[in-house]
């Protein structure tokens, strides 16, 4: 039997402006811009926390009022995305120095170190490092 390789390739996040979102994710969070391709009426904009990763963020500009209502509230106020790191304090301090909004102080949990932050739009994220990393 042949083994299948499957993964989440993209997670779409609704944004208000491509350039503003690119600047935030690359300058504040340290992501890499993978692709920015014009398409009729929109752009295909992809950023990633790690260029070797199979999972990327697709920055999708809201195209109607219904979509605009979800900007910053993609998960109903819960943590939406989880940014795993191999060096929590390096990334926390870098993000903090660049003005990223943290919702709490970092804390130690059974599984590792974690802190909740909000992106440019108010979507909540966990920055975390597993204890075994």
29 contacts 100 by C-beta, under 8 angstroms? yes
Find all residues with CB under 8 Å of 38, minimum gap 6, and list them: none
Strands (E), the chain: 10-15, 32-39, 42-48, 56-61, 79-84, 101-102, 107-109, 112-118, 124-130
pTM of the model: 0.91
Rounded to an integer, what distance in angstroms lies between the CA atom of residue 133 and that of residue 130? 5
Number of C-beta neighbours around residue 95 at 10 A: 19
Parallel, antiparallel, or unpaired for β 42-48 and 32-39?
A: antiparallel
- pLDDT of the residue at 96: 98
Boundaries of every domain in the chain: 10-130
* CATH superfamily placement of domain 10-130: 2,3-Dihydroxybiphenyl 1,2-Dioxygenase, domain 1 (3.10.180.10)
| pLDDT tens-digit readout, 55-96 | 999 999 999 999 999 999 999 999 999 999 999 999 999 999
pLDDT band at 106 (very low <50, low <70, confident <90, very high): very high
In terms of Cβ atoms closer than 10 Å to its own Cβ (0-12, 13-18, 19+), residue 44 is middle
| pLDDT tens-digit readout, 7-61 | 899 999 999 999 999 999 999 999 999 999 999 999 999 999 999 988 999 999 9
């Amino acid at each position: 039997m042949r083994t299948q390789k499957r993964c989440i390739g993209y997670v779409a996040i609704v944004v208000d402006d491509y350039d503003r979102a690119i600047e935030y994710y690359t300058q504040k969070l340290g992501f890499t811009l993978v692709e920015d391709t014009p398409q009729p009426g929109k752009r295909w904009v992809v950023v990633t926390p790690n260029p070797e990763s199979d999972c990327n963020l697709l920055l999708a500009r809201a195209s109607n009022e219904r979509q605009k209502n979800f900007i910053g509230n993609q998960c109903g106020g819960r943590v939406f995305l989880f940014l795993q790191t191999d060096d929590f304090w390096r990334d926390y301090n870098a993000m903090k120095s660049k003005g990223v909004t943290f919702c709490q102080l970092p804390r130690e949990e059974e599984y590792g170190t974690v802190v909740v932050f909000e992106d440019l739009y108010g979507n909540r994220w966990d920055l975390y490092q597993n204890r075994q990393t």
